[in-house]
């Protein structure tokens, strides 16, 4: 039985758009392998045979073997989560202005109110509260959600994967992409799985507030990516590039396994 459609918040609409931008980038990077393979297969036919052309093909091959683009998309994914969590509260305060006073009265702002705060008014003070919160510190975020929305947002998580996503993001940003002495190497499957996990929580938060019950079905970005790959399989680009890509996958298999076992590499 399908769930009844509901009107999502503006913050959720923006979140979905931002997530789709990451998703489209992942798909494009995947397609790019086959475009590169198709060019390489037909390089004589189209005259890509000089030393500089071969140098570019080798550079592309090296990039595909260890593509760190997904590390940066992983960072962006957590930033998109943080933006939603903050924007959704701000959106609610604009719609229900009486909740501004509730936030100021109930949230511990760790400072004494000054005459200037009184002059500036409650809206400015509420803005200061939101701008002072680090929105990947989920325990603090949960306090805000309990005050503004009246429910425990953390209880709407499906499992504990988000905590690990935030931990990995922290290592990429603040520890030059390392866990201990191991270098973090995010693969597209790890990123798609993290997107699915974060999307489920955000969709559940938005749905729960409007419907007073949890959502049952959620987007699966791994499955969506699979459907996009099926579209690629029908293309001439795939037919032209398949042999080259498969050869490179199998020829790189020993070195990829070596990367996986390397104590300096942590694959997600």
| Distance in angstroms (rounded) separating the CA atoms of residues 191 and 72 | 10
Q: Note whether residue 251 is domain-resident.
A: yes
Domain assignment present for residue 173? The answer is: yes
Asked whether residue 4 is assigned to any structural domain, the reply reads no
* Long-range contacts at 38-43 (CB < 8 A, ≥ 24 apart): 38/237, 38/240, 38/241, 38/244, 39/241, 40/241, 40/244, 41/240, 41/241, 41/243, 41/244, 42/240
Is residue 76 one of the residues assigned to a domain? yes
Residue 3 lies in a domain: no
Burial of 261 (0-12, 13-18, 19+ CB in 10 A): exposed
Total count of domains within the chain: 1
Look at residue 5 and tell me if it is in a domain: no
One pLDDT digit (tens) per residue for the chain, 268 residues:
455 566 899 999 999 999 999 999 999 888 888 888 888 778 888 887 788 877 887 777 777 666 788 999 999 999 999 999 999 999 999 999 999 999 999 998 776 777 777 777 788 889 999 999 999 999 999 999 999 999 999 999 988 899 999 999 999 999 888 888 888 889 899 999 999 999 999 999 999 999 999 999 999 999 999 998 888 888 888 888 887 777 766 665 556 566 666 666 777 7
- Give me 159's structure tokens: 């499992």
Q: Determine the structural domain holding residue 112 and report its residue range.
A: 10-267
Stated pTM of the model: 0.87
């Amino acid at each position: 039985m399908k769930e009844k459609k509901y009107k999502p918040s503006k913050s959720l609409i923006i979140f979905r758009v931002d997530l789709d931008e990451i998703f489209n980038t992942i798909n494009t990077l995947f397609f790019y392998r086959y475009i590169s393979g198709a060019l390489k297969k037909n390089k004589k036919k189209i005259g890509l045979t000089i030393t500089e052309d071969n140098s570019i093909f080798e550079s592309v091959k090296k990039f595909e073997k260890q593509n760190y683009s997904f590390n940066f998309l992983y960072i962006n994914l957590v930033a998109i989560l943080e933006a939603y969590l903050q924007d959704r509260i701000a959106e609610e305060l604009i719609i229900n202005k009486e909740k501004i006073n509730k936030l100021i009265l109930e949230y511990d702002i760790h400072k004494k109110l000054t005459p200037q705060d009184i002059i500036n008014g409650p809206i400015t003070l509420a803005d200061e509260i939101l701008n002072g919160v680090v929105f990947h510190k989920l325990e603090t975020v949960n306090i805000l959600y309990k005050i503004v929305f009246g429910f425990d947002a953390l209880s709407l998580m499906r499992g504990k994967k988000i905590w690990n996503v935030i931990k990995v993001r922290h290592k990429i940003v603040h520890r030059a992409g390392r866990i201990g002495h191991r270098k973090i190497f995010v693969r597209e499957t790890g990123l798609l799985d993290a997107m699915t996990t974060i999307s489920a929580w955000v969709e559940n938060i938005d749905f729960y507030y409007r419907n007073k019950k949890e959502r049952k079905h959620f987007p699966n970005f791994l499955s969506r990516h699979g459907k996009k790959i099926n579209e690629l399989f029908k293309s001439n680009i795939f037919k032209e590039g398949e042999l080259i890509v498969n050869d490179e996958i199998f020829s790189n298999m020993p070195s990829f396994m070596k990367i996986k076992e390397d104590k300096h590499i942590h694959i997600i």
